[in-house]
Chains A and B, each alone.
Chain A
Amino acid sequence: EDQVTQSPEALRLQEGESSSLNCSYTVSGLRGLFWYRQDPGKGPEFLFTLYSAGEEKEKERLKATLTKKESFLHITAPKPEDSATYLCAVSGGGSEKLVFGKGTKLTVNP
């Protein structure tokens, strides 16, 4: 059974304080690993898809990396507007079904 575990559950940073969020996964035949951002009262917003170990993708202050067992979302010099819950999901085994972790709630204080 596919599983996704995210850590930490919550993270508080000062503005400009870089850090990383972790997503550990087990999946049969990885099709893709996905990162989403979710603001309160809204649906998840797509950030990245990673397909194979060693792949990296960047968007503004965010950089996602992938190994065979985990993914990291690195946040460089975060700003208060980066505050949100970050969700990690995987799909595998030829299915489009997404299996999500519980998310990491990030708070960036000014």
Chain B
Amino acid sequence: SAVISQKPSRDICQRGTSLTIQCQVDSQVTMMFWYRQQPGQSLTLIATANQGSEATYESGFVIDKFPISRPNLTFSTLTVSNMSPEDSSIYLCSVDLGPDQETQYFGPGTRLLVL
């Protein structure tokens, strides 16, 4: 497994502002993922972040709203831009440790409330 940390753990923001969430892993990983978990809903993949290339976004998510950086193999950021109350959610990063590991491992999440 891997030790994954996220910052901030929670935040309350005003509509129209932006928040950048950081994800740090204690080992080098090729694939990192960003998910959203809205109340009463399933975890939904926002995008896949690979080092050295642009993030790949899922249907319904766009780069202008959720820009992602992946500067190295242990770190990634997700920005939630021009926030509205509908963006209130838990944002989680996960990592895939490679073909010898069984699955993705998740960070603790960032709880975001937009007023």
Contacts and interface: CB of A to CB of B under 8 A. Distances in A.
Prevailing SS type, chain B contact patch: strand
Given A43-B92, A46-B1, A98 B107 contact: no
Nearest to A49: B102
Question: Which of under 10, 10 to 19, 20 to 34, or 35 or more describes the interface residues of B?
Answer: 20 to 34
Nearest to B9: A41
Question: Which of under 10, 10 to 19, 20 to 34, or 35 or more describes the interface residues of A?
Answer: 20 to 34
A44 interface: yes
A96 B96 contact: yes
B103 A34 contact: yes
A87 B106 CA distance: 13
Interface of B: 1, 4, 31, 33, 40-45, 48, 58, 92, 94, 96, 102-109, 111
17 contacts: A34-B103, A34-B104, A43-B4, A43-B94, A43-B106, A44-B92, A46-B1, A87-B43, A96-B48, A96-B104, A97-B48, A98-B45, A99-B45, A100-B42, A100-B44, A102-B42, A103-B42
